[in-house]
């Protein structure tokens, strides 16, 4: 899916229009629902029955996530908190989240079990998952923008640009799984983060003259790092969660990554907008008759345009317009480089969180001392409380 999706989406956009990237999901969704109903069965430990449906939690979660999505998507175009409705939307999000936490902590059948965050591996994994979501979706949003608007690629070609990353991810996914059995999980996650930071550094050096030969190595490195971070982190985050709470824990972990993705779009759009203005102001200072380089460019451009039949005044005015367009392009390019630096910084700041993870790796002939214990059943909480890494069941 990560490999086919961008390519197929680009082809559909070029040939049928962008709405078809949504329409195509309908038949696959129907097939997925039918397959779930036919083949997916709850394991015995989850067949406990549901006393009630947490309608209050569902309502608060829906309101909070929906309004947050709208605020993040429209914030940049509305100049953020200069817009009254963005301010009120933010208030609604904050109130909804606070009310959701309060409600869920009182509910007998919560839709989100926030008490699970007392499990250190899960809470650390969710925090790193948030950063991973920002980095993954941020670059996924940025690269098509760069290739289409800066390099002139079609939507299909922009999708092809992401293909090397998806292929590398596909190849190294099982490798990361095998290595988890023998290597300390923290080292694998560390290696994955370092590779992603390295690839972000490569993205920060792209220019208007970059091409596929510059993009492919960077994206391959990113695709190599993602499995070691994502697969290993997912396994570690859920490794000490009792089976009875596994669905809640995996949902909470996935939610953190999705929220990171929503933040990524707003973060990238804001950085690009503000840094483009910043770089344009700096570059525009050099577009002056007193600058020798600009004077040479203007003279050469004017002469070339006059050779094509323009008058002297028309050619001079057109040369100024060409210079202005070049400044805008370069300013936007520099803002994309800034986004890459920010992404690298986010992953760098996530590194200290690895200290909080327990040492150990998956089952092998020689088990790590830090992972020898097995999580106790949810109905029999550890007498040591949360120190064991498990979460006691609600009585």
Nearest C-alpha neighbor of 361 from the set 219, 235, 230, 181: 181
**97 lies in some domain:** yes
- Of the chain, the percentage scoring pLDDT greater than 70 comes to 88
b/e 61-83 (16+ beta carbons within 10 angstroms → b):
bebbbebbeebbeebbebeeeee
Q: Would you state the pLDDT for residue 366?
A: 43
**221 lies in some domain:** no
Name the pLDDT band for 380 (thresholds 50, 70, 90): very low
Domain boundary (112, 128, 159) is at 112
**376 lies in some domain:** no
Tokens at residue 99, please? 């009310």
Q: Is the pLDDT of residue 243 over 70?
A: yes
Q: Do 100 and 61 touch, CB atoms closer than 8 A?
A: yes
Domain boundary (112, 138, 161) is at 112
Size (the chain), residues: 395
Name the pLDDT band for 2 (thresholds 50, 70, 90): low
Q: Pick 6 or 153 by higher pLDDT.
A: 153
**5 lies in some domain:** yes
Distance of CA 243 to the CA centre of its chain: 28
Q: Would you state the pLDDT for residue 364?
A: 44
Name the pLDDT band for 379 (thresholds 50, 70, 90): very low
Q: Pick 232 or 386 by higher pLDDT.
A: 232
* H or E element that contains 203: helix 185-204
Same domain, 68 and 106: yes
Q: Would you state the pLDDT for residue 196?
A: 94
Q: Is the pLDDT of residue 330 over 90?
A: yes
**358 lies in some domain:** no
**31 lies in some domain:** yes
Q: Pick 361 or 22 by higher pLDDT.
A: 22
Name the pLDDT band for 336 (thresholds 50, 70, 90): very high
Q: Do 251 and 112 touch, CB atoms closer than 8 A?
A: yes
Residues 6+ apart with CB under 8 A from 142: 203, 268, 336, 339, 340
Q: Is the pLDDT of residue 144 over 80?
A: yes
Same domain, 61 and 95: yes
Count the domains in the chain. 2
Tokens at residue 143, please? 């690269």
DSSP state at residue 146: I
Name the pLDDT band for 3 (thresholds 50, 70, 90): low
- Across the range 277-294, mean pLDDT stands at 87
| Per-position DSSP letters for 344-393, written without gaps between them | HHHHHHHGGGGGGSPP--SS-SS--GGG---PPPTTS--TTGGGGS--PP
Q: Is the pLDDT of residue 378 over 50?
A: no
Question: Whole-model pTM above 0.85?
Answer: no
**72 lies in some domain:** yes
CA distance 338 to 273: 11
**What average pLDDT does the chain have?**
85
Q: What's the domain range around 67?
A: 54-112
Q: Is the pLDDT of residue 120 over 80?
A: yes
Q: Do 226 and 169 touch, CB atoms closer than 8 A?
A: yes
Q: Do 176 and 170 touch, CB atoms closer than 8 A?
A: no
Q: Is the pLDDT of residue 372 over 90?
A: no
- Across the range 86-98, mean pLDDT stands at 95
CA distance 214 to 202: 9
- Across the range 132-149, mean pLDDT stands at 88
CA distances in angstroms from 193 to 118, 132, 143, 226, listed in the order given: 24, 9, 19, 8
Convert the pLDDT of each residue in 145-184 to its tens digit: 899 888 889 888 888 888 899 899 999 999 998 999 899 9
Q: Would you state the pLDDT for residue 248?
A: 87
Give the position of tokens 């690629």. 153
Highest mean pLDDT (candidates 55-59, 76-80, 368-372): 55-59
Nearest C-alpha neighbor of 196 from the set 246, 133, 259, 255: 133
Name the pLDDT band for 51 (thresholds 50, 70, 90): low
Nearest C-alpha neighbor of 345 from the set 197, 203, 198: 197
């Amino acid at each position: 899916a990560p490999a086919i999706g961008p390519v197929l989406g680009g082809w559909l956009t070029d040939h049928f229009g962008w709405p078809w990237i949504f329409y195509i999901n309908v038949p696959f969704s129907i097939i997925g629902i039918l397959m779930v109903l036919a083949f997916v069965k709850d394991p015995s430990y989850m067949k406990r029955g549901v006393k009630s449906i947490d309608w209050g939690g569902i309502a608060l979660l829906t309101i909070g996530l929906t309004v947050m999505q709208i605020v993040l998507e429209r914030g940049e175009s509305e100049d953020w908190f200069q817009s009254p409705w963005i301010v009120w939307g933010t208030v609604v999000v904050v109130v909804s989240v606070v009310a959701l936490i309060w409600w869920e902590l009182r509910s007998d059948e919560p839709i989100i079990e926030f008490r699970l965050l007392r499990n250190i591996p899960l809470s650390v994994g969710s925090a790193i998952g948030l950063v991973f979501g920002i980095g993954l979706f941020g670059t996924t949003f940025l690269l098509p923008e760069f290739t289409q608007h800066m390099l002139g690629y079609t939507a299909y070609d922009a999708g092809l640009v992401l293909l090397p990353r998806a292929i590398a991810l596909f190849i190294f996914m099982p490798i990361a799984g095998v290595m988890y059995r023998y290597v300390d999980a923290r080292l694998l996650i560390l290696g994955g983060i370092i590779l992603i930071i390295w690839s972000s550094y490569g993205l920060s050096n792209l220019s208007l003259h970059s091409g596929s030969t510059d993009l492919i190595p960077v994206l391959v490195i990113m695709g190599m790092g993602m499995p070691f971070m994502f697969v290993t982190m997912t396994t570690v985050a859920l490794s000490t969660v009792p089976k009875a709470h596994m669905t809640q824990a995996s949902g909470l972990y996935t939610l953190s990554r999705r929220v990171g993705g929503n933040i990524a779009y707003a973060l990238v759009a804001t950085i690009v907008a503000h840094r483009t203005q910043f770089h344009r102001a700096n570059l525009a200072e050099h577009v002056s008759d007193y600058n020798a380089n600009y004077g040479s460019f203007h003279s050469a451009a004017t002469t070339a345009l006059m050779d094509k039949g323009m008058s002297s005044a028309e050619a001079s005015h057109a040369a100024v317009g060409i210079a202005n367009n070049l400044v805008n392009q370069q300013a936007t390019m520099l803002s994309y480089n800034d986004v890459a630096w920010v992404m690298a910084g986010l992953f760098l700041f996530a590194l200290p969180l690895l200290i909080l993870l327990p040492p150990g790796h998956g089952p092998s002939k020689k088990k790590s001392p830090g992972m020898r214990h097995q999580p106790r059943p949810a109905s029999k909480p550890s007498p040591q409380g949360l120190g064991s890494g498990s979460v006691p069941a609600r009585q």
